[in-house]
Chain A
Amino acid sequence: EVQLVQSGAEVKKPGESLKISCKGSGYSFTSYWIGWVRQMPGKGLEWMGIIYPGDSDTRYSPSFQGQVTISADKSISTAYLQWSSLKASDTAMYYCVRFYSGPHYFDYWGQGTLVTVSS
């Protein structure tokens, strides 16, 4: 069974750094793109970027390029989303997603990690 299990909720202050994680299991982690989707409170879905753990090829949405860093450690089947300096506007639910690159869709979703940034 394919599973994406994300790290727990975070409460941070503006300016702090953060790295959240997503562990994949039940499939070949290095054979599928894995990415992140943001959902701000009461809003829709926004694609942030994806990484291919097999070779670390990474693609970002123009809206998030330079704002976050996506990485992966294939030795432990885990993907990461990282901020160097959080803003209040980063408060959102973040979903880890497996991307099927063929017809191009997100076939599995993690349970979400709620990030709250508040002073």
Chain B
Amino acid sequence: EIVMTQSPATLSVSPGERATLSCRASQSVSSNLAWYQQKPGQAPRLLIYGASTRATGIPARFSGSGSGTEFTLTISSLQSEDFAVYYCQQYNNWLLTFGGGTKVEIK
């Protein structure tokens, strides 16, 4: 099973600042990497798929990069509605796993 490791576990950021979240795979997943945002009491929402493609309706301040084993989600200028937990998810040969999540909190 491919293990996805997200870092940091918690990221404290001021509104308007840039946030950089990391996701590392225990072996290559090519570009089969997605990012999700989950707010308290809500279902997760797809942000990024294919490592770097924004889902429909996702603001341009969200961007994804990376391939193989190292991936990054960047939020260029944090808005109040962006404080949430973010998960990465990989797909490899009909097995899918999520990372443990990064909580982005207000500094």
Q: How many Å lie between the Cα of A47 and that of B38 in the bound state?
A: 15
Give chain A residues whose Cβ lies under 8 Å from the Cβ of B100.
44
CB of B31 closer than 8 Å to a CB of A: yes
Residue on B nearest A46 in the bound complex, by CB: B98
A59 near B55 (CB under 8 angstroms)? no
With contacts A44-B101, A104-B32 taken as known, whether A109 is within 8 angstroms of B45 at the C-beta atoms is yes
CB of A26 closer than 8 Å to a CB of B: no
A103 near B1 (CB under 8 angstroms)? no
Question: Which applies to chain B's interface (DSSP): helix, strand, loop or mixed?
Answer: strand
Separation in Å of the B38 CB from the closest CB of chain A?
8
CB of A29 closer than 8 Å to a CB of B: no
Q: How many Å lie between the Cα of A44 and that of B49 in the bound state?
A: 19
Question: Which applies to chain A's interface (DSSP): helix, strand, loop or mixed?
Answer: strand
B43 near A103 (CB under 8 angstroms)? no
CB of B97 closer than 8 Å to a CB of A: yes
Interface residues of B in 36-92 (CB under 8 A from A): 36, 38, 43-46, 49-50, 53, 55, 87, 89, 91
CB of B96 closer than 8 Å to a CB of A: yes
Contact of B96 among A44, A103, A104, A107 (CB under 8 A): A104
B46 near A112 (CB under 8 angstroms)? no
Q: How many Å lie between the Cα of A104 and that of B45 in the bound state?
A: 15
Residues of B within 8 A of A (CB): 1, 31-32, 34, 36, 38, 43-46, 49-50, 53, 55, 87, 89, 91, 94-101
Interface pairs (12), CB distance under 8 Å: A44-B87, A44-B99, A45-B36, A46-B98, A59-B94, A95-B44, A103-B31, A103-B49, A105-B89, A106-B89, A109-B45, A112-B43
